[in-house]
Amino acid sequence: MELAEQKVELTVKSERLLYVGLFVNVLIIVMNTTMFNVAIPEIIIHFSLTPSSASWIVTSYSVVFAVGTVLYSKLSQQKSISTLFTVGLSLFGIGSIIGILAVDYTVLLFSRVVQASGACCVAALGIVIISRYIAIERRGRGMGVVSAASTLGFGLGPLIGGIITQYLGWSFLFVISLIGVLTLPIYLYNLPKERSTAQSIDFLGLIYLLIGVISLLIFITTSQFILLLGSLFFFIFWLHIKKVKNPMIPPDLLLNKVFISIVLIGFLIFFINFSLLFLSPLLLAKVFNTSSAMIGMIIFPGAMLSAILAIYIGRMMDRVGSTMIIGFGIGCLLVSTSLFALLSHLTSITVIFFYLISSIGFSSITMGLPNYLSNYLSSEKFASSIGVLQLCQFIGGAFGVSVSGKLLEFQVFQTIALPFWSGGNQAFGMSYLFLVVLAIVALTVFGFLKFIIKTRTINS
């Protein structure tokens, strides 16, 4: 009997306890990303880095995180989820300890990679647990809890990170990350006992995919065209998964128009959100001379309020459906990026309100996309699909940070006569304007998705 089939009849001991564990875990994992966004200005000074070089603090984490979600999602069909959580959270703890002891930039990057190799288990397995063990009529609430934790982490991270960075130093951020390991007993106690199955894992396909992603990201930050040759590994990866018995990503998923539309929206949304989280602290530090602690206090209120609203949006999704929530979220991001591009130069206070709108949009989309897939695909295909979705989302986040760092150094952007922006800060305005374009693209893809859904409904 397949492991995926076994789990349909199994339940957790306590849904409430499960939500507590997932909330704390997701909160810490997301904070682990956003805390370092605020610390980047200090790390740049400490190690004498350029913005594009410093972006690898976030990018390296995001790339490994993204690829790792595919691996953990695939393993969830074969191995006990509690065992996978044990491995993942242990790696996260080891990476945090290395980070505390880091004395140079190379060790710092290595610690982030080790952290990411474990942290990604939460992103991959958390959604799988909800779709597998929670009744369909309550999944929206479960997705809402996870999304609320994620949104709160995006806001609480800068606040805590800013205070710690200013008064204790950025290395102490890794101490906060260790809290995530404390949730492990909840999963060991609460999750059903499962029987593992012996199947081969497509590690070769995972390596092809990782090489392709890293080569493109390094090209963005270094402009070395020779590195584009690494993108050929995407084609090699495609040929590989078509001929192996148990591929890392099923080829038929990559040919499904609905799924591809969902994945593209996820990529664009994470690109935009991670870019905002990278650009805004630098904007506040450079344009308004804001301290690290104050940067966190400016970003926190919007994220806190949107985290509270995420619970209600999740419940609403159970009534109105995922599609409407996704569309609402994209609309919020379009409004937010437009306001950032036009008005964020006026005062640092504007960031509070603009980030609130973007946070509401981001949390709406991140709970809507997996919820739609859980209803659209079978349980077996969903486990693979959520890994691919998480992969593309965090690759989008990695690309967002890398591209944003590069745009700030783009000399042409420093001289463009952009309305409202002056004093050498035009690059921020142009970078925000680029995000507006991406939000419009996301809205266009959403329109295409609705068209496909409507057409299939009529034909059926």
Q: Which residues lie below 8 Å from residue 123, measured CB to CB, with a gap of 6+? A: 26, 29, 65, 69, 390, 394
Q: Which of 301, 340, 305, 30 has the alpha carbon at shortest distance from 154?
A: 30
- For residue 387, the tally of other CB atoms under 10 A from its CB is 31
Q: Which of 212, 243, 344, 366 has the alpha carbon at shortest distance from 286?
A: 344
Q: Which of 360, 387, 119, 139 has the alpha carbon at shortest distance from 263?
A: 387
Question: Residue 74 to residues 254, 304, 395: CA-CA distances in angstroms?
Answer: 16, 33, 18
CA 102/CA 104 separation, integer angstroms? 6
CA 373/CA 300 separation, integer angstroms? 31
CA 120/CA 62 separation, integer angstroms? 9
The CA angle 247-253-255, to the nearest 5 degrees, is 115
Domains of the chain, residue spans: 3-193+248-459, 202-247
| Token couple for 257 | 């128009």
Q: Can you give the pTM of this predicted structure?
A: 0.73
The CA angle 150-151-152, to the nearest 5 degrees, is 90
CA 32/CA 227 separation, integer angstroms? 29
Domain 3-193+248-459 bears CATH identifier 2.40.320.10: no
Torsion of CA 418, 424, 428, 429, to 10 degrees: -10
C-alpha R_g of the chain: 21
Under DSSP, the state recorded for 257 is H
> Do residues 380 and 152 lie in contact, with contact meaning Cβ atoms separated by under 8 Å?
no
CA 390/CA 147 separation, integer angstroms? 14
Q: Which of 340, 282, 386 has the alpha carbon at shortest distance from 43?
A: 282
Query: pLDDT tens per residue, the chain (460 residues)?
Result: 333 334 444 576 777 888 888 888 888 888 887 787 778 778 888 888 776 677 777 777 877 887 788 788 878 877 888 888 889 999 999 999 998 888 888 898 899 999 989 988 887 788 778 777 777 777 777 777 777 787 777 767 777 888 888 888 888 888 888 888 888 888 888 777 766 566 667 788 888 888 887 777 677 666 666 666 777 888 898 899 888 887 877 888 888 888 899 999 999 999 998 898 888 888 888 878 887 778 777 877 777 777 777 778 877 887 888 889 999 999 999 999 999 988 877 788 888 888 888 888 988 898 888 888 877 777 667 767 777 887 788 778 878 887 887 787 765 555 666 666 666 677 788 888 999 999 999 999 999 988 887 776 665 5
